[in-house]
Copies of this chain bind each other. A is one copy, B any other.
Amino acid sequence: CVWDTNVRISLPAVCFVWQIAMIILFGVFIRYNYESDTHWVEYMAQQNITSNIENDFYYRYPSFQDVHVMIFVGFGFLMTFLKRYSFGAVGFNFLVAAFGIQWALLMQGWFHSLDYTDGKIKIGIENLINADFCVAGCLIAYGAVLGKVSPVQLLVMTLFGVTLYAVEEFIILSVLHACDAGGSMVIHTFGAYYGLAISWVLYRPNLDQSKRLIGSVYHSDVFAMIGTLFLWMFWPSFNSAIAYHGDGQHRAAINTYLSLASCVLTTVAISSVTQKKGKLDMVHIQNATLAGGVAVGTAAEFLLTCYGSLIVGFCCGIISTFGYLVLTPFMEKSLKIQDTCGIHNLHAIPGFLGGVVGAITAAAATPSAYGEEGLIETFDFTGNFKNRSPNIQGGYQAAGLCVALVFGIGGGILVGLILKLPIWGDPADDACFDDEAYWELPEDEENIPPILEYNHNMTRKQQEV
């Protein structure tokens, strides 16, 4: 049989080999930075820092933990909505993220945290946040192929995804010097198109053979709401986690809070108006309500203004919900892109819009609005970039968006071709969306007491019949 989901050799092999490689590479390259090293106390004395509270740990650790929850509980539970793929959703999400953050620390470290004096990568709390961010891109991509790939394919996808991410991030943030604190471009646009391109290459014409498993059940929709809500609540932390200290983090949190609130209202409105009798659809509530957070990722740090944030959320709730209603079925039928979680509506479009909003907001920045110093700080117009003007910055922001798109689509097609090889243990068309393939499932549920009795009763009734 072509479809053999046996991963008993490949999965452990990849995990072991990779983890050993990580240990070696960490041994060679990764060290604590000056804020997490025992020499911090001497550094403080040298620099006249009078308090431990100035350690970046205290500026960013609460946001880091919120981001961590988004990655593991948020993404994990959001994908539990399928009736029989909750183990895969939350379990493979866990595996992929734990795998990816290690490689991300290395890849991003080489580009951003390399100490050229000794050739070591020096890490601190900001690196942990960035590793979580990097993995977020891969987890978004997982949403497009949820239920259709093997865990080994996911690990391969993550390995290449993290690598591509680190490169495009370096180009966008360092070479082009674009800003993207919340990652509308770097994380969401890249991650979503990466996943969609892979899904396009892996198109399964006979996927309707597992149609019976594509929907949700009552409880699985409630589980998915755990994911939705933790993503929604902590998105202000996501967008502010690596923003500048002080007003930068403060403003990013406010803008995200507002955009998300606005987005909920228009999602509900569109969901209701398009259904019979005005009933709401859980798919929309679980997903489109989050689009507002994606779309202020780039501009959250800027002077987007409070009403500007509301407008962004307003539009994204509408667009994202229509995406679920119209685009997802269209893409499946006409473009041969099967997008299990509808990441095109939740990440691709809002991420793209977020990049556009960021470019416009940057281009419109003025010294009178930002203050001379504020403008320099917000866009980091220092060093090589000290003569850059806001409208030029707007252009570079737009260029950054293109880079994210190219890396996402191009990288996705290449990785998709690799994943098409018949060696990865992916499930047959009629075995998709089923935990049975990769998980030891609990014995059938007849053993639960109340249902047990009820069975017995029935059997008895039947016997009476």
Contacts and interface: CB of A to CB of B under 8 A. Distances in A.
A262 B22 contact: yes
A192 interface: no
B15 A225 contact: no
A134 to B, nearest CB: 13
Contact of A449 (B213, B260, B269): B213
A11 B163 CA distance: 46
A40 B371 CA distance: 10
Nearest to A247: B40
Q: How many copies does the complex hold?
A: 3
A270 interface: yes
Which of A31, A38, A449 neighbours the largest number of chain B CB atoms within 10 Å of its CB? A38
Contact of A59 (B52, B261, B306, B452): B52
A59 B232 CA distance: 22
Given A83-B447, A306-B30, A465-B462, A38 B378 contact: yes
Given A18-B265, A277-B6, A310-B19, A447 B215 contact: yes
Nearest to A66: B65
Given A31-B306, A65-B62, A279-B438, A257 B15 contact: no
B94 A261 contact: no
A252 to B, nearest CB: 9
A86 B225 CA distance: 10
Contacts of A219: 219
A23 interface: yes
A188 to B, nearest CB: 21
A442 B311 CA distance: 32
Contact of A41 (B216, B247, B307, B448): B247
Contacts of A253: 57, 61, 125, 128
Contact of A246 (B41, B86, B213, B437): B41
